[in-house]
Structures are given as structure tokens and as C-alpha cells.
Structure 1
Amino acid sequence: MAFNKLPGVLSLTRGLMITDAVFENLLADSKRSPVEVIRHGIRGTQNIPDKFDDVSNIQQTETAKLDPEARGMSVSFGLNFLDLKDVIFACASSKGGKDDVAGYRQTLLNFIAQAKSSEGLQEVGRRFARNIANGRWLWRNRQLAESIEVAVARDGETLATFPALAVPLNHFEAYSDDEKALGALIAASMAGQSTSRLTVEARIDFGVTGALEVFPSQNYVERKPKGFARPLYYVRGGEVRRRSSGAGEVGIKVMGQAALRDQKISNALRTIDTWYPAYEEHGQPIAVEPNGANLGAQRFFRDGAASAFKIALRLDELDPDSADGMFMISALMRGGVYSGSKE
């Protein structure tokens, strides 16, 4: 049967367990050191002549740069895929509600059971594998690279290495044997047949040696202090270093080790949705989102019947091998709150 509405309380936990990705300098003799986020002052220029009398733009900002002796950079994170059935966090009636919770929960479990043995699940696994292999999760750092090698290991044993810049970004066709093998491992983890527990590392050659600026995640600050330009994300604590100048001591604060936030990596890995209606027009995969929200295009690509909220109402008739079925498998892995949406 089709449902008229979803349960009043329907919450799914994220099925991708991801750590932050830390940045390290690659130095001579296989040595490494943390890439540091530094807070410092800069003097730039204003470019709004109607609002400022002074062209100077003095700011405090944060920057992440490689060590002057660095020959490249490593970015690494840990990753595991949960069993699909374990993403169901809560499925219950709202207070005073009369939802068919038992019926919906059973329908959801039936879809998950069917998905576990489907080709659709295998394809979702291969798509995740491709986005690991192509280094999409490096974001702007990928664009700066001359070459990138992505290595995937499990329990300390290397499973595969990929020349990331040669792995496609905008389609999911012609998978390599290593992509297929990694995708099968991911699918087996989502099916509850094994655990993945992967370590992913990108070793990046920028084609230059020296203190090149690189790009960790940025922090959103709603009310930034006046004159403060850009806060960057870091892990571990830093220290204040001081050096002498003609006018006295100048403080340079080391905030911590540069890193990509786990949410940013998750967004990149789940950029596998080519099943949305406007894919032929847009020509690029988008991140799996219930309504197809896309910041780059400033558009919702999945409104109306194409939204996850609407597809979730007809799980009983959904084929996991279909476009909507594969999208729904991916949406379950994304997690989220689907409570009480109506037709």
C-alpha cells in the first residue's frame, strides 16, 4: 500500500562514519609535520569606493600554508559504512497521533532487506568508491594539484591506489577493477555482511616546493569581530609564537592543525545523484539531499514527486534497482529527519 503521510517521528542516523581529514606536510626522508593554521594580520585594499574613504583594508585572518621545505601534502581520514538497517534511529507516532507506524516500519525494513541483495546497492557502493578514488573530497586543493595519489587501506593493509586526477568526476561509467572491488566492499558493509573500516589518504604534489597556501574547511561565524576576515577549521591546540621587530614583539598565533570537516567530506562522497530529473540539463552529479538542494546552482533539483519525502511514501512499490530506488538507498545512508511529511 502507499502511505498518505510519513510517521510523526521518523529519524535516520547517518550511515557514513567519517573522521575529520588532517593535513600534513610531506618532507624529505619520508618525514611529516602538521600543516598549521596561523592567525595573522594583513593589509589589503578596499574595493567599494562609495563606502570607504581609505583604500586600506587592515584585517586579522587565518591562513594554512605548507612548510617551506614541503614537497607535497597528505590529507587523510577514517571511514566506515554502517549496515542499512542500523540507520533507523526513531520511527514512532507524534504525540496524540494515529500514524500507521508499525506498517511503515515494516515497509521500510522490507525495502532495506530487498535493497541488500540488489544490484542497486552495488551501484551505490561503486559510486561511493569513485568519489573516494577521484579525490572529490579534497575540494579546492584538488584543483591546485599537479598529481594526486589516493590510497585506500583496511586494517593497515593497502587495498588500492588511484591516480585521482584521472578518475572521472562527472559520470559513473567504465569503473576500473579497483573501483569495483572497493565498491563491492562498501556494498557488503551496507548490507551488514562485513565492516569496511577504511583509511583514506591523498598524497598531493602541487608541482612546487615551498610555503604554498592550502585550503582546510572554513568556519561560519555569524558575528565576526570587526576586522576579522576568515576563520579556518583546525584540530588540536596551537600556541602563540612571538618574534622581534623594530617596533617590538609581533604575535603570530598557531591555532592548530589544518583539517577538512567530516561534513564537508560526507557531502563530497555522496555527490552521486545523477538520478534527479534535470541531470541531462545540469550535466553534473549533485550531493544526495532530500530536496536536491545545491549551493552551487542555488537550486532545489528534487521538488515535488522527485523529493525523498515523496519517494519515501511509496517504499512498498519501490524497486531498489530503479533510479528512485538507488536514490532512496543513498538517502537512507545520508540520514536525516523525515517526520510527518504529507502528500
Structure 2
Amino acid sequence: MAKSSTKGLATVLSFEKKIVLSDGLMYGTTWENRQTQATALPLHEKSVRGTISNRLKSAVANDPAKLNAEVEKPNLQTVDAASLTMEQDTLKVTFTMKVLPDAAVPAACNVENHKEEILKMGKRYAEQYGFGELAKRYALNLANGRFLWRNRVGAEDLEVQVKAGNTQWLFHSYDYSLKDFDHVDEKVEALSEQIESALDGKLPYLLLEVTAFAKIGKGQEVYPSEELILDKGKGKKSKVLYEVNGTAAMHSQKLGNAIRTIDTWYNEYKTGNGVGPISVEPYGAVTNLGKAFRNPKEKCDFYTLFDKYSLGADFDSPEAAHYVMAVLIRGGVFGASGKE
């Protein structure tokens, strides 16, 4: 076996994700006929002549002649876009979500003793707390339609249907908050019980079919995922959207980020200075804010907690235990550096 770090941690350590999502396909329909009629939404190109609106250097901004010369320049752009037709007022998004057990079983681990302690940690978590709290939060993020992201904003009505085998639940998304996980009804409880059964191994797996409807208005623009173009100099478009076989779509990663937006256990949230639930990440990173809410200096990041618990220490609190297990469900590569 490879040499481990002096702390007894594995240098090769990874966990497979236990919540696996498909891409989300986007369709257009009407609210009245949403159950029976829907057409795939294609992408279309738009070429527009915009204005110069970026922040200018002081020498240009403070000189009227230079400013006029600058704003006269055309800002030509070719972008992808997607929208409903003028006969459609409702966006339909559909995807599948698979839930798997054995969150605390490493996919790869090069230190046998550490692996044994990790397995003990997982068993300790299941016995002390169980997966009920995590399952409830995942279920609520399905029910409230958080995964629609910008497509959720300004919708007149929101509805999410979740199907597992012959069982189906219907959620009116505005009945469930995006800010906390306090409100649970019988439907959320039933769905969370299914998710919990899969996470703790009572079921070999759970496959959910999720369909969301957002009544956003006739002809309104919808928002698929945007592709990351590493070398924009070679492309003719300034914005490229994601599509699957000609149908506008949302990345599985973006859907997954929303489903795991369950972390209300970080310090700022507890003190009332947080930004609401954040996605489960090793450092509590929220990229659009440019901030990590779980700083290692505060000893609340994943690695600090995981290293302690996976070497035999008791959980400090239910909140810390839930957070660590949620990161393992997320999956990732967590090996310690052999140079430490």
C-alpha cells in the first residue's frame, strides 16, 4: 500500500455520489393542458447590437469627447436563447433522480485502518441520528422547486410531481419555504421516508421521476444551463446554452447543486447573518458571492470535521454530523496530502 500521512489519514480516498441526477429537459405547454400536451423547447440564436455599458477608465469616463467616441462603438453579440411560444404560458422541466446507499463506504482508500474507522463513523451516524433529517431536506428541495433556479422567479404558479414506481406525490411549491426546512406535511414525510430508506440501505436504490411546471407567461424567456466556453476567442457566440438532442436543458450538476442546498448548519446562519441555506460543499463555497462560509480557521470545514470523526472521535453535534454525511453523499476526492 502507498504511504499514508503522519496523521493516519488515507492519501487516496474518494466517495461516489449517492444522489445521481439526469439532465433536466425543458418543454413548453399551457397550464390548462400541462398534463397532456408539451413540446420540446429548442434553442435559437439572436444577434444583437448592444451598447457599451462596462465600467470605463476614469480618463475616458471624465472626458465627454472620449466617452462619446467609446459609446458610439457597436457592441455586437450573438447569443443563444430559449423561450415559450406565444401560445404557451408554462415551462415543463423533467429529470430523474437516483438515491443510493452506503454513503460512508469509500470507493477508494489506500489505508485499511482509516477505511475501518470511516465505516465505523458511518455506522455511528446511522445509529445516533439516522438519515431522516437529510432525507427531509432533499425532499423539501424537490417539493419547493428550488432546482428551477431562475425559471422559478416570478412564476404565477408552481407545481412539482414526483413519482417513485406506482406512487406519486403532487406538491404546490409555494407552500414550502426556500429559507428553512421547518415546514413538513404528510406528502413531504412520505417522500422523505422513501429517500431515507434508500440512503440507509433498506432499499437497494430509489429512482424518482420529477416533473415541474412553472406558469411564467406567454412567450416568456426560459433559462437553460449556460455552457462553459474555455476559449471564447474561437467561438462566434458570447453565450452558448445547453441542449440535449435539440431540446433546451439544465445540467445535472446544476440540478444537483439545488437538491443539496441544505446546509443551514454554518455559523453565519446560526447567528442570523447568513444567506439562507447554502449548497453542501467542503468549504461552504458560494461562488456567486465569492465567499467560503466554512473557513478552516473556524474548524467548521469538512476536512477538519471529517478527519476528526473518521479517526474515532465522537460527533460534536447533530449539525456537524449531518453536514459531514451530506458531503459524503455529495461525493468527491478527499485524500490527505502525503507531503504533510
Superposition map of 1:47-66 within 5 A:
47-48=53-54, 50=60, 52=70, 54-66=72-84
Aligned residue for 1:161, secondary structure, equals strand
Query: Which runs of 5 or more residues in structure 1 are unaligned?
Result: 93-100, 237-255
Question: Is the CA contact (8 Å cut-off) linking 1:12 and 1:89 kept in structure 2?
Answer: yes
Q: Which residue of 2 aligns with 1:301?
A: 293
Superposition map of 1:30-179 within 5 A:
30-48=36-54, 50=60, 52=70, 54-85=72-103, 88-92=106-110, 101-155=111-165, 157-179=166-188
1:16 aligns with 2:19: yes
Aligned residue for 2:98, secondary structure, equals strand
Letter in 1 for 2:304: K
Question: Is the CA contact (8 Å cut-off) linking 1:125 and 1:184 kept in structure 2?
Answer: yes
The 1-side partners of 2:256 and 2:280 are apart by 10
Question: Is the CA contact (8 Å cut-off) linking 1:320 and 1:326 kept in structure 2?
Answer: no
The 2-side partners of 1:132 and 1:318 are apart by 32
Residues 212-221 or 65-74, more deviating: 65-74
Q: 1:286 aligns with which of 278, 288, 292?
A: 278
Q: 1:268 to 1:318 in 2, by over 3 A?
A: farther
Q: 1:87 to 1:32 in 2, by over 3 A?
A: farther
**Shift of residue 313 of structure 1?**
1.3
**Shift of residue 4 of structure 1?**
2.5
Q: Which residue of 1 aligns with 2:324?
A: 328
**Shift of residue 191 of structure 1?**
0.7
Aligned residue for 2:131, secondary structure, equals helix
Letter in 2 for 1:284: G
1:220 aligns with 2:228: yes
Q: Deviations 1:132-182 (Å, cap 9, x if unpaired)?
A: 111111000001311110010012x34211111221111111311211111
Letter in 1 for 2:210: V
Give aligned-pair identity as a percent.
Answer: 29
Q: Which residue of 2 aligns with 1:243?
A: none
TM-score w.r.t. the length of structure 2 is 0.85
**Shift of residue 118 of structure 1?**
4.3
Aligned residues: 311
Q: Deviations 1:41-99 (Å, cap 9, x if unpaired)?
A: 1222222474835343221110011122113111011001111257521001xxxxxxx
The 2-side partners of 1:174 and 1:215 are apart by 29
Q: 1:320 to 1:150 in 2, by over 3 A?
A: farther
The 1-side partners of 2:187 and 2:73 are apart by 54
1:183 aligns with 2:192: yes
Q: 1:13 to 1:320 in 2, by over 3 A?
A: farther
Which is richer in strand?
Answer: 1
The 1-side partners of 2:215 and 2:103 are apart by 40
Aligned-residue CA RMSD in angstroms? 2.2
The 2-side partners of 1:259 and 1:181 are apart by 29
Q: Deviations 1:107-144 (Å, cap 9, x if unpaired)?
A: 11112223334434110100111111111110000013
Q: 2:313 aligns with which of 313, 317, 327?
A: 317
Query: Which runs of 5 or more residues in structure 2 are unaligned?
Result: 1-5, 61-66
The 1-side partners of 2:89 and 2:72 are apart by 40
The 2-side partners of 1:187 and 1:260 are apart by 26
Q: 1:105 to 1:40 in 2, by over 3 A?
A: same
The 2-side partners of 1:138 and 1:181 are apart by 22
**Shift of residue 310 of structure 1?**
1.0
Q: Deviations 1:178-205 (Å, cap 9, x if unpaired)?
A: 1111111111101111121001111111
The 1-side partners of 2:324 and 2:335 are apart by 16
Question: Is the CA contact (8 Å cut-off) linking 1:14 and 1:87 kept in structure 2?
Answer: no
Q: Deviations 1:289-343 (Å, cap 9, x if unpaired)?
A: 0111112331111122111111111222234971111001101101111111599
Letter in 2 for 1:326: H
